[in-house]
Amino acid sequence: MLVDTHAHNQWASFGKDRKKVVSRARIVDVKYIVNIGFDVQGSRKAIELAEKHKGLYATVGIHPHNASQFNARAIRHLEN
């Protein structure tokens, strides 16, 4: 059994074949995938995917590259 501890399946580049990516992971024995939230929108999308796909999990947060987005409003969104 394998665990992908740092994925970004919520990226738009996976939009056309996201289900295939998850299916291929299962074929090679990846049982769990953790999608990392890097900003508010990416965190929200990671949660949506986790709710749709068994074995997908989400983290929420602001990556240092997106530090300019870190404010009280972003914190409220992430807490919710």
Q: What confidence category does residue 5 fall into, taking pLDDT thresholds of 50, 70 and 90?
A: very high
| Residue 45 structure tokens | 């999308």
Q: pTM for the complete prediction?
A: 0.87
For the chain, give every domain's residue range: 2-79
pLDDT of residue 45: 95
pLDDT of residue 31: 96
Q: What confidence category does residue 7 fall into, taking pLDDT thresholds of 50, 70 and 90?
A: very high
Task: Give the C-alpha separation, 77 to 47, whole Å.
Answer: 12
Only one residue has tokens 């990846």, namely 30
Per-residue pLDDT of 34-78, as tens digits, reads 999 999 999 999 999 999 999 999 999 999 999 999 999 999 999
